[in-house]
Amino acid sequence: MSLPYLGGKLPKKTKFNHFFDSDTDSSLRDKFHGLCLLYPWLLEDKFGFTQNPQRFMTQSCGDDPWRILFFGPLFLGAFGSLLIVISIFSQLLPSDIEGETFPWWIWYTTIIWNISVLNLLPIFKRIAPPNLAYFDRKTRKVGYTFDIPGCTERDEFGNCCFPWREIECNVAKITTSQHGAQAYAPFISHEHSFFQYKNTEMTIVVTENAQDPIYCLLFWEELVRFMDNKKPLPDVPRYEAVRHLDPVTAEYDVAQAKAGNPRPEVYWRDMSFEQQEEIYKELLEECFELDWFNLEPRDEITAPWQRWTPKPELKDTLNWKYKAKRLAWQLGCGFP
């Protein structure tokens, strides 16, 4: 599939307008930290960007060293767990080697590594936080937590910032691994990045294996729509708990209620992550079937409760199954 403006600057407009991204219920993670003793440090946010999703959308640079610092140890831990599984199966198979001993050292090394990574990641995040660009819906500014040479404007946090109108997005293919695998990725930068503000260039990882540029377009549409502060926030899981904190969205919800179409106070939060993933796949299939060359802008889904019914019985609860699954992730690859 190709896009009519692929290879050039993406326009700041939306066509698909069926915004959606799955969002896990963080309350269970906050109640049960498992083996991650310093888990609260992972939640610390110097400026409050993550605590205010109704105002800020943050993006980390795809080639930020923090990604290697975070995903590298997790990959090694997962590889060690794979060796453990292989060693177990090898013991079940007949062997010609007499007196072959079970490689317990793989178990010890992997478990110690994963538990160490699990508790060191929060420390690394505190000492060397990732480089972020944050998109401020309230002020329609784009700020950076790192230095931009030549930047003169500062926001309320003392960080360099630029007007949203000066930010642009382009899509290109990038090499994602040492084996030469390629994927599409959006590049966000200041319109004068080539000559003046090169440090604003950010490669955004929309998926780890985006073989179709449509993922880049959907990401950009979501960002463009978020920064349109004349419209209420899209009705998606990410914003449900904070809709009342955005003035335009709160006013819209009140008006809808008076018009006889009240929004349920809790809708997405009654839905399991698995059910949300099914909705995401459903909308993604619709997106791939569209003719983007001749597509007229579609209407947004403003009353999702009329289309999908939550199944609260599928939601995770803080029971032994959830705790066992969380511990398995932590012991299996060091994921907090």
pLDDT tens per residue across span 180-239: 567 788 889 999 887 888 888 888 878 766 678 888 889 999 999 999 999 999 999 999
Residue 311 in domain: yes
Q: Can you read off the two tokens belonging to residue 35?
A: 């083996």
Is 306 inside any structural domain?
yes
Provide the 10 A C-beta neighbour count for residue 271: 25
* Residue 188 counted as domain residue: yes
- Is residue 267 a part of any domain in this protein? yes
- Reported confidence tier of residue 44, pLDDT bands at 50, 70, 90: confident
Whether pLDDT at 71 is above 50: yes
Quote the strand ranges of 18-176, DSSP E: 56-60, 132-136, 141-144, 161-163, 167-175
**Look-up of token digits 């978020």:** 226
pLDDT in tens, 76-113: 999 989 888 888 877 776 655 555 577 788 888 999 99
Q: Is residue 215 part of a domain?
A: yes
Q: Is residue 167 part of a domain?
A: yes
DSSP string, 62-126: TT-HHHHHHHHHHHHHHHHHHHHHHHHHHHHS--SSTTPPP-HHHHHHHHHHHHHHHHHHHHHHH
Measure the CA–CA gap between 274 and 314, rounded to whole angstroms. Answer: 8
Tokens of 190: 């200041």
The reported pLDDT for the residue numbered 300 is: 93
Cα–Cα dist 331/336, whole Å: 9
pLDDT of residue 243: 95
Contact between residue 68 and residue 128 where contact means Cβ atoms under 8 Å apart: no
Provide mean pLDDT across the span 155-172.
93
Q: Report how many domains make up the chain.
A: 1
Angle subtended at Cα 247 by Cα 242 and Cα 249, rounded to the nearest 5 degrees: 65
Query: Which CA distances in Å does 251 have to 226, 233, 301?
Result: 16, 11, 18
Residue 163 phi, psi dihedral angles, 5° rounding: -65, 145
Q: Region 239-268: what's the mean pLDDT?
A: 95
Asked whether 169 and 10 are in contact (CB, 8 A), the reply is yes
Q: Which of 253-262, 290-299, 308-317 has the highest mean pLDDT?
A: 253-262
The rounded distance, in Å, linking the Cα atoms of 147 and 69 is 21
Q: What is the pLDDT of residue 178?
A: 47
Angle among Cα 200, 211, 198 to the nearest 5 degrees reads 10
Per-residue pLDDT at 319? 87
- Cβ neighbours, 10 Å, residue 83: 14
In whole angstroms, what separates CA 197 from the centre of its chain? 26
In the prediction, which pLDDT does 22 show?
A: 85
CB-based burial, 111-124: b 16+ in 10 Å, e otherwise: bebbbebbbebbeb
186 forms beta bridges with: 171
Q: What is the pLDDT of residue 5?
A: 47
Average pLDDT over residues 319-334: 90
CB count within 10 Å of CB 44 equals: 11
Cβ(267)–Cβ(310) below 8 Å: yes
Whole-number pLDDT of residue 84? 86
pLDDT band at 7 (very low <50, low <70, confident <90, very high): low
- Residue 223's domain comprises 26-64+130-328
pLDDT at 135: 96
Distances, alpha carbon 173 to alpha carbons 96, 221, 267, in Å: 49, 19, 38
More confident residue, 90 or 51: 51
CA atoms within 13 A on the CB side of 92: 5
Tell me: the pLDDT tens digits for 127-136? 878 888 999 9
Mean pLDDT of the chain: 86
pLDDT tops 50 at residue 4: no
What are 153's two structure tokens? Answer: 């404007």
Is 97 inside any structural domain? no
For residues 162-189, one letter each, b for 16 or more C-beta atoms within 10 angstroms of the residue's C-beta and e for the rest, the string is: bebeebbbbbeeeebeeeeeebbbbbbb
For residues 95 and 272, the model is more confident at 272
Mean pLDDT (whole number) for 17-22: 89
* 275 vs 195 pLDDT, higher one: 275
CA distance 174 to 62: 11
